[in-house]
Amino acid sequence: MVFNSVYFLIFFLIFFFAYWAINNKFSIAIRNLFIIISSCFFYGLWDWRFLSLIIISSATDYFTGYLLSRTTQKLYRKGLLISSIVINIGILGFFKYFNFFIDSLNELLLIFSMKINITTLKVILPVGISFYTFQTLSYTIDVYKKRMEATTDFFSFFAFVSFFPQLVAGPIERASHLLKQFQIRKKFSYDLSVSGLRLILWGLFKKIVIADNFGVLTDRIFEQEAVIPGISVIVGAIFFALQIYADFSGYSDIAIGISKMLGFDLMVNFSTPYFAKSFGDFWRRWHISLSIWFRDYVYIPLGGNRTGNLRTHFNIFITFFLSGLWHGANVTFIIWGGLHGLALIIDKQINNKISSYIYTPFVLIIVVLLWIPFRAENISHLINLGEALINLKNYSFGHLSHIIIEFSRIRFYFLCLVVIIFLLLEYNMSLNDFNTWIYKKSRPARILIYYFLIFAIILIGNYSVKPSFIYFQF
């Protein structure tokens, strides 16, 4: 069940009215229990078996936090933290990386002419495991570091972990921000609900109009079997840049909007990243909750920028290497993360020495090109795309033209016009989110934008693809 489906609309309408009725008549604990049951139902429609993993993660970190709050013995506290990390990362590692490491080991042994067939398992990746694992881990670490008090309310903690709007694809919330919101009674707000509906409309526009249309084009361009001209690789990278941004930020906007309608405040996860002025600026705008998580729990513990230039560069590279690995069990993601790490290291050396009129578009070009390894299916596919990109004799438009004709020229031209308007709106937003930005507009301007979004969704929204979000696989 995904946000852009009729089933979710029915689910949320029932949940919304029942939630506010329960919130107003019953205790906070009963309301949180209702959130937990509804969230488990929402998640269980993907695969009810993996609910056990959420329960294990929640119970592990709840009781770890409880025990940490009752002792001051350093060795015992460290043991509790290590146990929590081992259990959480162990579960994540098994389901997400077991086959990857086995396949990599087999390939490594073949290089040394050692043929040992270590069998892989048919392991299914649980939806959202990377997100809720990082969320529960941040709680344990913060309690261990004494940045926050441990909670004794299991219902509020489990509701914080399983909260369905952001359960499967974030934002990755910190307990210090979100957990306490489950411990107070909510009061229905018309203004918050309207704000939430604005964000939902904006998110659905990005998902159904931009992401799902460019997703079809991107898939056709990057088909592994096809011989792809260099120009198609470049255009495919541009299309995928639009797809993944609209898809993921669209999900985040909808999640934040739904939460607002329920009286919860989630952090902003994207802030017009393609208008960033540097690579550092890009990562302050892209998947903000993950960037902050890696900054606080990987980069800073490694020493951050406090240990000299060489060590700082090493810390940056390791952080982005792990960020790439977090995105998926594939060498291509590691390459993508490593290249972004190198780009950020170089960025720190040259950023202030080049005119922003030159450097800003350069950053955008590199960011777009770096989506190629992210989109590649495997290393051989990436090599083929790289070869096509540098083969200057193979830059024919025929392949691209054929794909556009299959897609529909008229639909493609309308889509390009809508994208131009979309990017102009994003540029005008600057660092504001859609809700804050449009609230400052005059009433006629707001109505015009609403109608544009609604008509775009109705007229050129892509309803032929199976409803899904890219980051569900992470």
Write out the catalytic residue numbers.
327
Cβ neighbours for 75, distance < 8 A, ≥ 6 positions apart: none
Query: Using CA atoms, how far apart are residues 233 and 376, in angstroms rounded to an integer?
Result: 11
Q: Which residue's entry shows tokens 């794909």?
A: 403
Query: Using CA atoms, how far apart are residues 363 and 369, in angstroms rounded to an integer?
Result: 10
The pair of structure tokens assigned to 170 is 């974030």
Concatenated DSSP letters for 91-118? HHHHHHHHHHHHHHHHHHHHHTT----P
Q: Is the dihedral of CA 379, 344, 323, 470 positive or negative?
A: negative
Burial of 42 (0-12, 13-18, 19+ CB in 10 A): buried
Nearest to 373 by CA among 275, 233, 471, 258: 233
Cβ neighbours for 332, distance < 8 A, ≥ 6 positions apart: 373, 374, 376, 377, 378, 379, 381, 382
Q: According to DSSP H, which parts of 284-355 are helical? A: 288-294, 300-302, 309-327, 331-350
Torsion of the alpha carbons at 210, 261, 170 and 290, rounded to the nearest 10 = 90
Query: Using CA atoms, how far apart are residues 134 and 327, in angstroms rounded to an integer?
Result: 13
Nearest to 440 by CA among 190, 195, 259: 195
Cβ–Cβ < 8 Å for 80, 67: yes
The pair of structure tokens assigned to 255 is 């999640």
